[in-house]
């Protein structure tokens, strides 16, 4: 112990950063949750959760292991999409999904018991770290793509200003100039 100006100063303990110690990666969580939310594509008219084989392939492509019930996955995905969409209120789901708490290097970490549990654990981490509020759904009816708002003031509206934002601005301009003529 060292005395400085009549105060005792203890040496600082060197502690490893918790996130690094257990391998948490919020960018990976964001990518996984966005990929799950985007399993339906309004622009292409595709739905990855149409049948169990497509859902299993989606899980396999991401190294998530076994795919649980596809109907439950679709219900949870739709509820999560509603939660991040403008002007919609998600339905109340009484769905519970099993997750596990494991100790990694002495630190408790949530892990999914299956593919859907892994997605839900990633989403829960985003909620608890303040990243969830930045996940949004593009309001363009022909898009509806989930994206992560990386703007400083969290004001991004469109998935892409070059595509959806530009289309909406052009549509709005045409409406204003058509009705005024």
CATH number where 30 lies: 1.10.3300
Place of tokens 């759904």: 137
Instruction: Let me know if residue 3 belongs to a domain.
Output: no
On whether the CB atoms of residues 143 and 85 are closer than 8 A, the answer is: no
Q: What is the pLDDT of residue 7?
A: 60
Question: How many whole angstroms separate alpha carbon 138 and alpha carbon 86?
Answer: 9
pLDDT score at 81: 93
Domain contains 116: yes
In a domain, 77, yes or no: yes
Instruction: Print the domain residue range for 105.
Output: 19-179
How many domains does the chain fold into?
Answer: 1
At 121 the pLDDT is: 95
Phi, psi of 103, rounded to the nearest 5 degrees: -95, 120
In this prediction the pTM is: 0.80
Q: CB under 8 Å, gap of 24 or more: what pairs does 66-71 form?
A: 66/114, 66/115, 67/114, 67/115, 67/116, 68/114, 68/115, 68/116, 68/117
Cα–Cα nearest to 126, from 20, 31, 21: 31
- What is the rounded distance in angstroms from the CA atom of residue 21 to the CA atom of residue 110? 14
Residue 8 within a domain? no
Query: Left if phi > 0, otherwise alpha if psi is -120 to 50, otherwise beta: which for 140?
Result: beta
47 in a domain, yes or no? yes
Mean pLDDT by 10 residues, the chain (181 residues): 58 61 80 96 89 94 92 92 79 79 88 93 94 92 91 86 76 75 54
Residue whose structure tokens are 């991401």: 62
Asked whether residue 158 is domain-assigned, the answer is yes
Q: Which tokens hold the place of 92?
A: 């109340």
**Other C-beta atoms within 10 Å of 13: how many?**
5
């Amino acid at each position: 112990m060292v005395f400085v100006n009549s105060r005792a100063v203890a040496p600082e303990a060197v502690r490893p950063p918790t996130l690094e110690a257990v391998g948490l990666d919020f960018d990976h969580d964001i990518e996984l949750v966005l990929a799950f939310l985007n399993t339906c594509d309004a622009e292409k008219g595709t739905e990855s959760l149409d049948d169990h084989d497509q859902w299993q392939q989606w899980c396999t492509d991401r190294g998530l292991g076994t795919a649980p019930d596809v109907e439950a996955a679709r219900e949870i995905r739709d509820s999560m999409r509603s939660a991040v969409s403008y002007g919609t209120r998600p339905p109340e789901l009484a769905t519970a999904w099993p997750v596990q708490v494991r100790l990694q290097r002495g630190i408790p970490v949530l892990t999914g018991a299956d593919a859907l549990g892994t997605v839900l654990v990633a989403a829960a981490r985003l909620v608890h770290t303040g990243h969830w509020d930045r996940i949004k759904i593009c309001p363009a009816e022909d898009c509806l793509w989930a994206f992560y708002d990386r703007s400083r003031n969290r004001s991004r509206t469109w998935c892409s200003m070059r595509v959806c934002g530009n289309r909406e601005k052009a549509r709005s301009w045409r409406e204003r100039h058509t009705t005024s003529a």
